[in-house]
Chain A
């Protein structure tokens, strides 16, 4: 190989995107932590929603005010940490081991790496979230039907609410990807994620009307509003709440995109 190698033959953008996505997909499925976190993220909420439904069904007296979709939602909130960790690890392990330098030397367009990691983890957790949402829904309604508390999937507003329920894991996981890229450290990234999700929720206990005024911007209130069969009147409308919900990962990834090209790897 004495002849100079032809420089940078043009490679279509779509092919380059596919390359980076395939690479990140291989990375994701070749480590055990992916399988563990997904297992926890899927099994825990289905189990918890069944448990909550059983408790509701056996509660003394009739409780017509209970939202029949609530158990499915509450349970997803327990899966949040698992997928959040999955998201954070995508960058934090690479920064921790130094592998990030190999990654960025192979793909100097760092935002492409960020986008690819967010895309593969987002796709995986979206599928997992929807599976959990519909499985929980089916299980919960089966338990509640004995007490005539259940709703069917054909009931107006129900399909949308269940679909939205499945979004939570996707939202938190992609936010985790962004935080991993920003903090570049596993423990720090997880702490930041927990902080951003749960600390603002404390503001919801402020005296009325401030609790709702602040709370409607928080991730957890937004997701509850989006998935509620009877949305609260003092929070944003569900459509706006959906925007709030998606704004959390969007803004996190935006911050990551700004920082990732500015800092030395």
Chain B
């Protein structure tokens, strides 16, 4: 279990994490979602005792990280897969980390097997692709067989096969009863992996819910109607208690009445309909709406 309570982290004038509180429980993959710069990595670093919080606390298994003895048996983390010495072999890299926590050679070999790196175990890391480095990072995280796991943007830069592998891996870890926290800036990615979501923006908590609930509550659905007698039709729709928003090109965005009902209503009154399109906002858009700042970014960049 990971418990973050009223966490604040400032770097000079910049507040990276601003009063964040949440709990990550075992048995689920919990997505840690937010746009780039929202404070996900900083939060994870504070949880791992790498950055000192300005105020507030982060606890793992009821302890603050620096209190943990042989912490790899409690928490496994993959922050940056490229953070390794390019001249070292995969085995030496893993062994040096394992030894610091009293973990034996057998476990090192087992992790290399599990992550499919056996064949390249004695190659220097400078020749490793990003996908291989990600696998090695996961091997490091799993060395101590920890009940709590954290992965920071684990699918960044991976090919489809690698993404599928990691996704299935994280699900298996959670099914095993472990606490799994995975950060991402992509809602679509999290929707396929995470059961629970913690959404943050500008260092603050935006949502702490299940993935299903978030999709349900924030997905926008409407019907686009085009008609030569749009104004008249709009009044009729409003009279039925639905909402109508005129679009810039003369179309009507109708919420509260589905497409067949709008069509029937128009037919009843002999109004021609040129288009009747049920629309649903993508999950990604719902998420961008939720994290206001990236909506600005999207508008600016399009």
Q: Which A residues form the contact surface with B (CB < 8 A)?
A: 1-2, 4-5, 7-11, 15-16, 19-20, 22-24, 26-27, 30-33, 93-94, 97-99, 101-109, 264-265
List the A residue with the shortest CB-CB distance to B62. A7
Q: Is the C-beta of B231 less than 8 angstroms from some C-beta in chain A? A: no
Given contacts A5-B147, A11-B69, A101 and B45 within 8 Å (CB-CB)? yes
Query: Which residue of the partner chain, among B61, B69, B74, B79, contacts A101 with CB atoms under 8 Å?
Result: B79
Residues of chain A contacted by B65 (CB below 8 angstroms): 108
Given contacts A26-B92, A31-B88, A264 and B50 within 8 Å (CB-CB)? yes
Interface residues on B, range: 35 or more
Residues of chain A contacted by B75 (CB below 8 angstroms): 105
Q: Is the C-beta of B77 less than 8 angstroms from some C-beta in chain A? A: yes
Q: How far is the CB of A71 from chain B (nearest CB, A)?
A: 35
Residues of chain B contacted by A7 (CB below 8 angstroms): 61-63, 74
Q: How far is the CB of B291 from chain A (nearest CB, A)?
A: 25
List the B residue with the shortest CB-CB distance to A94. B85
- Which label, helix, strand, loop or mixed, suits the secondary structure of the A interface? helix
Which of B97-105, B208-216, B239-247, B270-278 participates in binding chain A?
B97-105
Q: How far is the CB of B165 from chain A (nearest CB, A)?
A: 21
A31 with B87: CB separation less than 8 A: yes
Residues of chain A contacted by B50 (CB below 8 angstroms): 101, 104-105, 264-265
Residues of chain A contacted by B19 (CB below 8 angstroms): none
Residues of chain A contacted by B77 (CB below 8 angstroms): 105
A26 with B96: CB separation less than 8 A: yes
Residues of chain B contacted by A9 (CB below 8 angstroms): 69
Q: How does the 8 Å CB contact mask read for B57-99 relative to A, with 1 for contact and 0 for none?
A: 0000111011111111111010110111111110011011101
Q: How does the 8 Å CB contact mask read for B193-219 relative to A, with 1 for contact and 0 for none?
A: 000000000000000000000000000
User: How many Å lie between the Cα of A106 and that of B79 in the bound state?
Assistant: 13
B96 with A27: CB separation less than 8 A: yes
Q: How far is the CB of B89 from chain A (nearest CB, A)?
A: 7
Given contacts A2-B177, A19-B102, A30 and B89 within 8 Å (CB-CB)? yes
